[in-house]
Structure 1
Amino acid sequence: MKRYILHAPFSIYHFEADVWEHSVHKHTYFEIIFILNGSGMHHINGHAYEYASDDVFLLGPEDFHHFEIAETTEFCFVRFEESIDKQQFGQSEPAWQPIIKALLNTSSQSRGSIVIDKLEKQKLLHLLATLEAECANERSAYFEIVRDSILRSMLLVLARNLFSQSSSNKVKKASIEAILMHIRQHIFQPEFLTIGHLAVTFNYAPTYVSLFFKRHTGESLKHYIIRYKVRIIESRLLYSNRTLTEIADEFGYTDESHLCKQFRKYTGVSPVSFRNAVAQL
């Protein structure tokens, strides 16, 4: 499956289409998808959702999707790296930071369009218009600060809508979506990803956890966790100057050698070769 790469921390792509020309694909980034006009079907992770004007979707790096356009559709894609919630603010973190972190680590794709309320949709569209206007003049004073502030406001509105939905629309604790969400939230904490911990957390017998996971995802629990780690490590190699030792420590590897061995097994190349190859492009 093709994976699209974002070569900058942020981009915005506004276009109109009668036919969707992209095959099913994944990304190395997050994206907010605005449906400004038109209708059709949005296929996400093997599920199909009808879309119409003013719908809003939020996709993460491991989500795969494509559109089936029924009526000429005007799209706007706001693409950004996960670093949006990792700014450094000294001793205390701003109030928005844990909210955005929770949003980006919560599986929202099984709900289709996140926002239902018309007034909330209008607020997001106003923010989008402001963001596009700001991006039209990237040389203006404080551009990046203003741009990031608008993007955070968008994400906070999305979080407010996602987290305030009725309990009937929330992911049930014992569902596969909840397990996937748990893995994403604790990907830097290996002790929370063991079969024993998952069994206690989701009230399953340890022998059933792996069977349940594979039945609903088509791959083993261990393979999914490693593959998800490798995807984030690829992002670290692409968009940060962290050393292999620092990355290994961040992900709980025993040492740099263990990280390199696992990365090579799942990608076919060493982390150093991966970083150097991309740098040469």
Structure 2
Amino acid sequence: MKRYVLHAPFSIYHFEATTWAHATHKHTYFEIIFILKGRGTHFINGNAFGYEAGDVFLLGPEDYHHFTIDTLTEFSFVRFNESIHSEASAGQDGSWQPVIRALLTTSSQSRGSIVTDSLEKQKLHHLRAVLEEESLRQQSPYFDPIRDSLLRSMLLILARNLFRHVPAKPVVSASLEAILLYIRQHIHQPAILSIDHLADAFHYSPAYISLFFKKHTGESLKQYITKYKIKLIEARLLYSSRTLAQIAEEFGYTDESHFCKQFKKYTGHTPTAFRRGL
């Protein structure tokens, strides 16, 4: 599968189309997709979602997608690397960072367009319009802080809309999706992703939840959690300037040495070698 590369920290791609010219693909970056007009179907990670004017999608580096266009569609793709929101926080109050980090590491693609409220859509499209207009003056010394502020506002609104539909406690359900969502939401908190804790959260016995998960996924809970965490760490290594110690702390490792050993065990490379492109 082709993977598209973004060679700059940020870009906007605005166009109209009657047919989709790209095969199913992944990216090396995050992408906020705005639908300005038109109708069709957006295929994301094997799921099909109808789209219409006003819809907003958020894709991460591991999401794969393509469109089928029914009527002339106007798109605006806001593309950015994770380093954008990391660098923007330097010297600032970073109280919003956990919210954005959770947004960027939580798959939102089981629900299609993130925003359903018309007023919220309007706010996001206004921010997008200002961002597009400002992007015409990227050589200005004021562009970077304006871009970062607008992009941060977009992400916070997206987070508000995504997480307002997610209960503070997991829904007690036999649904595999409920368990997967809980894992994705708490991937930075390994202490509450133990089999015992998950069993307690979903009111199952440890033995039952282990068998249930493996039956429906083909792998154990521990394997899934570790693989998912490693994929997120790979994205951090490739698309952020965080140190190994910072990444280890973010994902709840006891120390950098433990982090490096586990990463090499599952990828065959040290984090440093992986970051250098080996």
TM-score higher than 0.5: yes
8 A contact 2:39–2:50 mirrored in 1: yes
Mapping for residues 232-247 of structure 1, pairs under 5 Å: 232-247=232-247
Partner of 2:118: 118
Cα-to-partner distance string for 1:172-222 (whole Å, 9 max, x where unaligned): 453433333332333233222211111112222212223333444454433
Cα-to-partner distance string for 1:121-155 (whole Å, 9 max, x where unaligned): 22222211110111111111321111111112222
Q: Secondary structure at 1:57's aligned position in 2?
A: strand
Partner of 1:224: 224
Identity %: 65
Shift of 1:162: 3.4
Cα-to-partner distance string for 1:43-64 (whole Å, 9 max, x where unaligned): 2232211111221112234433
Shift of 1:109: 1.8
Shift of 1:243: 4.5
Q: Which runs of no fewer than 5 residues in structure 2 stay unpaired?
A: none
Kindly tell me: are residues 254 and 4 of structure 1, through their superposed partners in 2, closer, same or farther at Cα, counting changes over 3 Å?
farther
Kindly tell me: are residues 130 and 249 of structure 1, through their superposed partners in 2, closer, same or farther at Cα, counting changes over 3 Å?
closer
8 A contact 2:170–2:182 mirrored in 1: no
* Distance of 1:84 and 1:252 partners within structure 2: 23
Q: Secondary structure at 1:198's aligned position in 2?
A: helix
Kindly tell me: are residues 182 and 99 of structure 1, through their superposed partners in 2, closer, same or farther at Cα, counting changes over 3 Å?
same
Q: How many residues align?
A: 274
Cα-to-partner distance string for 1:256-278 (whole Å, 9 max, x where unaligned): 55544443454444333322237
- TM-score w.r.t. length of structure 1: 0.80
Shift of 1:33: 1.0
Kindly tell me: are residues 229 and 106 of structure 1, through their superposed partners in 2, closer, same or farther at Cα, counting changes over 3 Å?
closer
8 A contact 1:36–1:74 mirrored in 2: yes
CA RMSD of aligned residues (A): 3.2
Partner of 1:58: 58
Q: Secondary structure at 1:71's aligned position in 2?
A: coil
- TM-score w.r.t. length of structure 2: 0.81
Shift of 1:85: 5.3
